[in-house]
Amino acid sequence: MKKLLNGVDEELGPTASVKLLVSLEAFRKRLDPDSTPRRRKRFQRDLNALLNSNIHLRAAAKRYLSKEINRHRKTSAALEKRVDRLIKQLERKGKTRVK
């Protein structure tokens, strides 16, 4: 959640209103790694409501999440290629069969 808050903050940029920045800071202060599942769920609902309450926050969250998705997509594609190479190496050595 901290990464999400920081990412949205970065995507808002320097022209963001003080009100939005104060709202994000208030959520940062509410972060508690020792919270119960019920409190975490409440925090997630409240954060979701905040991000959807303002067009600038919603757009910043969308930009941040799009970048994260693309980063993970590239990482998974690279990992898949590596696994394919390892499987082929093992097949050549006769140590495995592909089903």
- Residue in this structure with the two tokens 């590596």, named with its chain if needed: 82
pLDDT of residue 11: 93
Residues 65-79: pLDDT tens digits? 999 999 999 999 999
Closest CA to 57 of 1, 2, 3, 13: 13
Does residue 99 belong to any structural domain of this protein? no
Of residues 99 and 17, which shows the higher confidence score?
A: 17
Residues 27-59: pLDDT tens digits? 999 888 888 999 999 999 999 999 999 999 999
Whole-model pTM over 0.85: no
pLDDT of residue 77: 93
- Residue in this structure with the two tokens 């991000």, named with its chain if needed: 51
Q: Which domain holds residue 80?
A: 2-92
pLDDT of residue 15: 83
Number of folded domains in the chain? 1
Where residue 32 falls (left for φ over 0; alpha for ψ -120 to 50; beta otherwise) is beta
Does residue 76 belong to any structural domain of this protein? yes
Does residue 97 belong to any structural domain of this protein? no
Q: Quick check: 7 pLDDT over 70?
A: yes
